[in-house]
Structure 1
Amino acid sequence: MTREFKPGPYNYCDYRCERCDEREYCRVYKENQERLLQHYLKGEDPNDPEVFLNDLKEIFEKTKDMIRKAAEEQGIDLEDLEEIPEEEIEEFDPHNYVIYNLAYDYFDQAHKLIKKLEKEGIPEEIAEEFEDFVWYHTLLVAKAGRLVSSFDDKFFDEETKRIEQEGTIQVLKKGIKLSRRALDKMLNELPDDFQSIVDLIDTLKRLETQLNSDMKKRVDEV
């Protein structure tokens, strides 16, 4: 039986393949595993800078071919496209949206606590939770930025934007859930950082509320 892969875009991905229940249906995961296998068979270290850069080159070449093929199917001649003058490109500021500012505030607060805890040493009892906390504190703000950038995106049609936004929201909700679980455990194990953790939980709650109530709310509407 032929295995069916999930379609793109892959914005529902949180880049933690080792913990993903859907990796067997993910084309990106399959290709990455095949690439790693080829390196091992050749006796290469996939983390070697030269090997890594060669991988990137191959990925970019493959992406260019995919774009070229898609353009041909749409009857678009890429050679005829004119370069858009820089002054005509609208600047986008994610800070215009409340939800992004909340995600950024969370990132900023979390980053300070992470640096403090890394300096002091991470208790073994919260090692796994701390890993989740670290991982998602950057991913949440990145995904929030991607979400708000799609609101004013004039390139994609409404259906494509809807699919992409749904995937991004899915990752945001997952990140909030796992971050909250991590912080709850840290709250019990790190009494000296009680207030910092409480503040982080509060920011997460506000982020979740904004996501569920009015994710498109702008700062000038507050």
Structure 2
Amino acid sequence: MEENQKFIPGIYNWCDRWCERCPQTDRCRVFEKEERRKSNNQDKEWPEVVSDNLNETLEMLKKMADEMGIDLDSEEVKEESAAQMALEEAQGVIAENHPLHELSEEYWKKGKDWLDSELPEENLLEWKSWVEMGRENSEAIESDLRSAEEALEVIQWYLFFIPVKIKRALHDQMDGFWDQYPDEERSDLGTAKIAAIAVERSLEAWEFLYKLFPKEELLAVLALLEKLREGLIEVFPNYPKFIRPGFDD
């Protein structure tokens, strides 16, 4: 009982999945479970671990269904499942084509193009040449280099995270399930909130790089992120009210 009380219910639903930087890992059941799984499966290949996880999930679902008196093999359940899957697929297509999600897709593609190009390395080399010529203070430049590396790490972490969470938030908003819940508990607002946090952190990182390398390509990326920030507020105006367990309470 004491072991269970230390965990915060649902904390893992509203985090950024960056466990290495999370101050709440000792209160996250998913983190504890994954660490235990890693320890118990050190000799297993990744596909085998995924298969074990899937089988475990299916067993849990079957057990829950049995406890509720539901026959998963009945024609009625199969028809309901098929209808629900069709609805989920339709909502997914609508979410993918929403202007906000399309904007997030444009962002990650433009951001990845810059990260994959030769421009970052060229800019750093140009910067270092200024130090060698005595145009910049070496200690200050080393500090900025460390900050630049940190900025790049932040950008890379959230690059794909942002469109995934925006699509999830749009999907949950369409679902209608959370309409009767208070804003503090709505799933669509919670997902929009963590997407907005990722956008803000990415903005700060790109702004730092732009300060070092005031290039037009970076300005275009910053413009997209600013549109995403404004779009999230427009589509999910009440997301700041959501309370993320363990983070906002």
State the TM-score, normalizing by the size of structure 2.
0.70
| AA of the residue aligned to 2:172 | S
Summarize the alignment of residues 132-211 of structure 1 with structure 2, pairs less than 5 Å apart: 132-153=154-175, 156=177, 158=179, 159=181, 163-191=186-214, 194-211=215-232
Gaps of 5+ in 1: 45-49, 217-222
Q: CA–CA distance in 1 between the matches of 2:219 and 2:118?
A: 16
Deviations 1:174-207 (A, max 9, x none): 211210111111112223xx21211211211111
Higher RCO structure (Cα 8 Å, ≥6 apart): 1
Q: 1:62 aligns with which of 56, 59, 67?
A: 56
Structure 1 runs of 4+ with >6 Å offset:
none
Structure 2 counterpart of 1:25: 27
1:31 is displaced (CA, Å) by 0.8
C-alpha spacing 1:167/1:68, structure 2 compared with 1 (3 Å): farther
C-alpha spacing 1:35/1:118, structure 2 compared with 1 (3 Å): farther
CA contact (8 A) 2:169 2:189 kept: no
The CA RMSD measured in Å over matched residues stands at 3.0
Secondary structure of the 2:45 match is: helix
Summarize the alignment of residues 10-159 of structure 1 with structure 2, pairs less than 5 Å apart: 10-40=12-42, 44=43, 51-80=45-74, 81-83=77-79, 84=82, 91=90, 92-117=93-118, 120=121, 123=124, 124-125=145-146, 126-153=148-175, 156=177, 158=179, 159=181
Of structures 1 and 2, the larger Rg is shown by: 2
CA contact (8 A) 1:173 1:208 kept: yes
Gaps of 5+ in 2: 125-144, 238-249
Q: CA–CA distance in 2 between the matches of 1:103 and 1:122?
A: 26
Q: CA–CA distance in 2 between the matches of 1:86 and 1:26?
A: 30
1:13 is displaced (CA, Å) by 2.8
C-alpha spacing 1:118/1:25, structure 2 compared with 1 (3 Å): farther
Give the percent of matched residue pairs that are identical in Structure 1 and Structure 2: 22
> Which is further off, 78-87 or 106-115?
78-87
